[in-house]
Amino acid sequence: MENIKRVLDDFLKSNYPDVNIKIEIRENKDKKKGAYYTTLGFYLMTYINQSPYDIGIFIKNEIKEKLKEYYDIEVSPRGYINFFLGKEGYRRSFREIKNIELSKIPMEFIFIDKCHLKKIQYLYERVDNILEILKLEGIYSDFQNFDKEHLEFVEKQILDEILNVFKALKKYGINKKSIQSMFFLCDLFDVYEEKVIIKYLPKKRLENLAIIMKSIVDLAEKILHKLEISGYLELK
């Protein structure tokens, strides 16, 4: 998000140095519309005799090269500028998830149903087993192989929820919000397994899936070990 704001700040300084606008980048609640959005075009409309859409297209064309490794940019008909994670944006998120330090995850002491936590344990064990099977087939969770063009809708849903869990962990640590998001991720993966016969997927989707599942394992492992050392459950 910060790199978007920095690029937009540079855009304003270069094109409209006399305009004083506070740039706001917000998270999209509807992930179909991208990870983030800005309404900068609406603010500039008071200075430029153009529609928010036309201003949005101009902004997109001016900044897309600087952000192309991390974001794909689309302008809605109403003029919202939406930022979708690009390949490198996803890869960076995968690396950050992998490198979460357990000691830096705060723990909020709340009531957590131990029966529900078994769902996270089951997800961790199930996904880890699938990854081992994929390795035997020569499919590895190499971030460099990630290609978002080969994601189906339900895989995008799983990926979005992985990022939601990660953001909740970074912002709140382990609390009711992050645990509920993890439960939802468990449910999504259950639905995915019911609908998809994994062994019959083409190689490119399997490579994407291996990367996605590695992030699930990384998140679940960190959460479970934090809960274990906090006395919430015993891991076998």
Instruction: For 128-170, write each residue's pLDDT tens digit.
Output: 999 999 999 999 999 888 888 888 888 888 998 999 899 888 8
With respect to residue 36, please indicate whether it lies within any of the assigned structural domains.
yes
At 133, which CATH number? Answer: 1.10.730
Task: Supply the DSSP symbol for 174.
Answer: B
With respect to residue 93, please indicate whether it lies within any of the assigned structural domains.
no
Report the distance separating Cα 212 and Cα 52, nearest Å.
36
Q: What is the pLDDT of residue 104?
A: 79
Q: What is the pLDDT of residue 14?
A: 94
Q: Which of 53, 85, 117 is the last residue of a domain?
A: 85
Q: What is the pLDDT of residue 236?
A: 41
Q: What is the pLDDT of residue 235?
A: 44
**Hunting for tokens 């089951």 — which residue is that?**
122
Query: End-to-end alpha-carbon separation of the chain, Å?
Result: 39
Mind listing the pLDDT tens digit of every residue in the chain (236 residues)? 788 999 999 999 999 998 888 899 998 888 778 889 999 999 999 888 899 999 999 999 999 999 988 899 999 999 999 999 888 888 888 999 999 887 778 887 666 677 778 889 999 999 999 999 999 999 999 988 888 888 888 888 899 899 989 988 888 888 888 888 899 999 999 999 888 888 888 999 999 999 999 999 999 998 888 888 767 655 44
Shared-domain flag, residues 79 and 107:
no
Q: What is the pLDDT of residue 8?
A: 95
> Residue 226 corresponds to which tokens in the numbers above?
């934090």
Which residue segment(s) compose the domain that 128 sits in? 102-229
**DSSP per position, 107-163:** B------HHHHHHHHHHHHHHHHHHHHHHHTT----GGG--GGG--HHHHHHHHHHH
Shared-domain flag, residues 45 and 129:
no
8 Å CB contact between 47 and 62? no
Shared-domain flag, residues 69 and 173:
no
With respect to residue 94, please indicate whether it lies within any of the assigned structural domains.
no
Shared-domain flag, residues 130 and 66:
no
With respect to residue 66, please indicate whether it lies within any of the assigned structural domains.
yes
Shared-domain flag, residues 65 and 16:
yes
Backbone angles phi, psi at 140, to 5 degrees: -120, 155
> Residue 40 corresponds to which tokens in the numbers above?
């900068």
Q: Which of 52, 85, 118 is the last residue of a domain?
A: 85
Shared-domain flag, residues 203 and 121:
yes
> Residue 23 corresponds to which tokens in the numbers above?
């740039």
Shared-domain flag, residues 53 and 123:
no
Alpha helices in 26-86 (DSSP H): 40-44, 52-67
8 Å CB contact between 85 and 93? yes
What's the structural domain count of the chain? 2
Shared-domain flag, residues 22 and 112:
no
Strand order in the sheet with 26-27: 26-27, 36-38, 81-85, 71-75
With respect to residue 90, please indicate whether it lies within any of the assigned structural domains.
no
Instruction: For 189-199, write each residue's pLDDT tens digit.
Output: 999 988 888 88
Shared-domain flag, residues 111 and 183:
yes
